[in-house]
Every structure is written in C-alpha cells, then in structure tokens.
Amino acid sequence: MDIWQAVLITVVTAATPLLIAALGELVVERAGVLNLGLEGMMAVGASCGFAAATLSGSSLVGVLAAIAAGAALSALFALLVLGLATNQVASGLALTIMGLGLSGLIGAGFVGSGREAIPPIRIPGLSDLPAVGRLVFGEDPFVYLSLALAGGILWFLSRSRAGLTLRSVGENHTSAHALGLPVIQVRLLAILFGGACAGLAGAYLSLVYTPFWSPGMTAGRGWIALALVVFASWKPLRVLFGAYLFGGATVLQLHAQAASLGFPSQVMSAFPYVATIVALVLMSLGRRKAAIAPGSLGTSFVPDR
C-alpha cells in the first residue's frame, strides 16, 4: 500500500502543473480568446519564480514573481489581440517563442543552481495514516490550491453572474456588445487570469517539481495543457480528470524507463505526448455529439465606433 501511495503521489505531482495551466486557459477560451502562448508563459514563470526565490531566499516571493511574470506576458498578448486586433494564433505562437527565449535569458545565471523545494503540508496524525495519509493530507500547497481552483472555476462559470457574462462574450461577442456587455474588459481580465495561472504552473515546476532551473524545463507541458482544454470539452471537472490522466502517463513512462524494459528512452519520453494525441482521437471518434467550442473562439472583436 505504501508503494501504491508513493506512485499516486508522483501522479498528483506530475498532474498539478498541467491542471493549473489548463484551468487558466479554459477561462481564457470560454471568453472567446485562443492563447497559444501558454508554453512561453509557463517558462517565464518558472525562470522568474526560481530567480526571485533564490535571490530573496523566500519561496513566497518566488511564487508571486512567477504569477506577475505570467500576467505581464499575457498583458502583452492582450495588447496585441484586443488592442490591435491581431491574429490570435500568430500572436500566441510569437508569445511562446518570445517566452522561451526570455526565460533562458532570465535564468542564464541560475543554470545548475538548486534550492530546497517548497515542503508539503503535514497534518499531525492524519498525514501518518496508512495508505492515504500522505496522499490526502501530506501534499504541497499547490495541489490543494489547484483543486480549490477547479472548484472555484466550476462555480464561477455555472453559478455566478460574472461567469454568465464571460460565457456570453465567448459565445457571441457581437450580441454581447449589443446588449451592453463590456467585451474587451471581460476578455482582458480572462487573459490576465490565464497568464497568472500559467506563471503559477511554471513556479510549481521550478520550486516544487524539480527545485532547480534549466532551460526547456517546461518540456511541452504548455501544449499538453492546451490539448487538455479541448479534451475536456471546455469543462472544469473534465480538465481535472484529464490532468490526472496525463500526469499518470508521465509517471508511467518514468517507471518504465527505471524498469529497463528495453525500449529506447526517447520513445518512452514521447509516451505522454502520444497518449495525449491518442486520447484526443479516441474522444473525437467515440463521442456521439461533438464538443462545441465557444462560438467566438479565436475571432477578433472590433467594437463599432
């Protein structure tokens, strides 16, 4: 039981950055904006978070710096797609390239440096329970925050007036504007929230998952998070399920490499991404009713003058 508990803990750890980033992107896409810059924002969040935590000696400062860095990069994206009405796909791809380069520049002086990871929360008595103690009551703060974030976004989108406004803007921004809804402001806040979540996911990578900085440590997780939103049909609970599914795929390939099964390491490293593609294909073939994306997703909005 202790072995299975340890495996499940690693699954949760691998899934948490995917979950946080995908939840932020879900809110952005439900507002009608497609942000392909998730990978770049995560990378900048990871480098800024690690640099700030190392220089200040405070993990909290590092987390806040990562959130601010992700939000700042998303603000640039918002300027392009909302202020200048540029193509969202091209702007997102440019943001990814810029973010990966910027993260390498920021983290150049910290390559190979390590620091103590943010410790898990220990609840006396409960964390020592057999089978489920460390899994349920001994996780790091990011895990509990990600679960609370999933529940909060579910409530926000389905129960709150602001969530209804955001969904209306994402479904038909022209009609929403005609009804007097602030389309630009709603999308701006959604983009900033998505960027902050991406930065937070990056901070998890460099401050908890692997507490050091190295270029390319996001390793395509931003793209997996983007695929998760489609896999989940733009629903928060399905994002939660998908994140743990692909987190499990990541852990499976690590254990397979450790067991020396004879497969090339490159093939095993590609397994989580292949699993992502296979899951999306099977989901598309197996559904009787295709998931309906927000009606205005990816469409620029220019208000009437």
The better pLDDT of the pair 263, 220 is held by 220
- Confirm if 47 and 257 have CB atoms less than 8 A apart: no
Q: What is the mean pLDDT of residues 85-95?
A: 94
Residue 280 pLDDT > 80? no
pLDDT of residue 10: 86
| Dist. CA 198–CA 118, nearest whole Å | 18
What does the pLDDT read at residue 259? 62
Q: 65 vs 255, which has greater pLDDT?
A: 65
Least Cα distance to 280 among 205, 226, 211, 210 occurs for: 226
pLDDT at 131 > cutoff 80: no
| Residue that wins the pLDDT comparison between 170 and 263 | 170
- Percentage of residues of the chain with pLDDT beyond 90: 55
The structural architecture, per CATH, of the domain 2-286 is Orthogonal Bundle (1.10)
CA distance 49 to 70: 10
The Cα 23–Cα 226 span in angstroms is 10
Q: Residue 55: pLDDT above 70?
A: yes
Tell me the pLDDT band of 282, cut-offs 50, 70 and 90. low
pLDDT (tens digit, 9 = 90+) per residue, 201-215?
999 999 999 888 888
Segment among 52-56, 163-167, 190-194, 266-270 with least mean pLDDT: 266-270
> Residue 261: its pLDDT value, please?
62
Can you name the residues that pair with 111 across neighbouring β-strands? 213
Q: Give the confidence band of 255 by pLDDT, cuts at 50, 70, 90.
A: low
pLDDT for the residue numbered 42: 96
Distances (CA, A) of 49 to 64, 104, 106, 169, 220: 7, 13, 10, 33, 18
* Average pLDDT of span 100-124: 86
Question: What is the pLDDT, as a whole number, of residue 168?
Answer: 94
Least confidently predicted of 94-108, 115-129, 223-237:
115-129
Q: How large a percentage of the chain has pLDDT more than 70?
A: 87
Question: What are the extents of the domains in the chain?
Answer: 2-286
Average pLDDT over all residues of the chain:
87
Average the pLDDT over 6-20 and give the result.
89
> Which residue's structure tokens are 């390491």?
265
DSSP letters for the chain: -HHHHHHHHHHHHHHHHHHHHHHHHHHHHHTT-----HHHHHHHHHHHHHHHHHHHS-HHHHHHHHHHHHHHHHHHHHIIIIIS---HHHHHHHHHHHHHHHHHHHTGGGBT-B-PPPPPP--TTTTTSTTTHHHHHS--HHHHHHHHHHHHHHHHHHH-HHHHHHHHHHH-HHHHHHTT--HHHHHHHHHHHHHHHHHHHHHHIIIIISSBB-TTTTTTHHHHHHHHHHHTTT-HHHHHHHHHHHHHHHHHHHHHHHTT-SS-HHHHHTHHHHHHHHHHHHHHHH-SSPPPPPTTTT-------
Would you say residue 67 has pLDDT above 90?
A: yes
* pLDDT of 149 over the 80 cut: yes
Interhelix angle for 236-258 vs 271-286, to 10°?
140
